[in-house]
Amino acid sequence: ERYDWEYYKQLLPIISGDVLDIGSGAGMFVEQYAKEDAVKSITCLDKYLDELVSHEKVERINWVCPEPLPELGVFDTVVSTEFIEHIERGQLEPLLEQIKKAMHADSVFIGSTPNKIAPTQNPYHLYEYTLSELLSIFKNYFTEVEAWDNGQNCTLWKAKL
């Protein structure tokens, strides 16, 4: 089974309401969760908007980290799959501060990233994290944090304010 299908299956049931997707890429995951009745709207931020899937629920906004996130209000779910490894290590904490501002008390922040324990050798990965490293960082920004390895050297997380 493909690496990404495994994390899709684990994260899909968590996504609902108004969704902010940071680093949407080609939108393979967006395409999956856009079909869900529980998802009302999806705002996708990425620099590769031409590759992003078209869907009636999807709004596309051009964005490149470390630019500040656009002030778009708050979202029920913030998604960032296979993105944080593509930004510089020092850009993660400022991004997490901004993500918190896009969340309300009941929002959830979910995502995935390759686990540094099995480096990918991908030249576009600027920094990869271990599960324990990611947990340590996220606990500085969120009160409820769960992180786990999906069995394919991919770290998944779910965090709440």
pLDDT per position as a tens digit, 28-38: 899 999 999 99
Question: What is the reported pLDDT for 63?
Answer: 95
How many Cα atoms occupy the beta-carbon half-sphere of 47 within 13 Å? 7
Q: Give the separation between CA 81 and CA 37, rounded to whole angstroms.
A: 21
Question: What is the reported pLDDT for 3?
Answer: 64
Taking CA atoms, 148 is separated from 19, 34, 91, 161, in Å, by 22, 24, 22, 18
- Taking the whole predicted model, whether its pTM rises above 0.75 is answered as yes
Question: What is the reported pLDDT for 54?
Answer: 83
Q: Give the separation between CA 22 and CA 73, rounded to whole angstroms.
A: 14
* HEC assignment per residue over 59-72: EEEECCCCCCCCCC
Residues 103-118: what's their mean pLDDT?
95
pLDDT digits (tens, 9 = 90+) for 115-134: 998 888 899 999 999 999 99
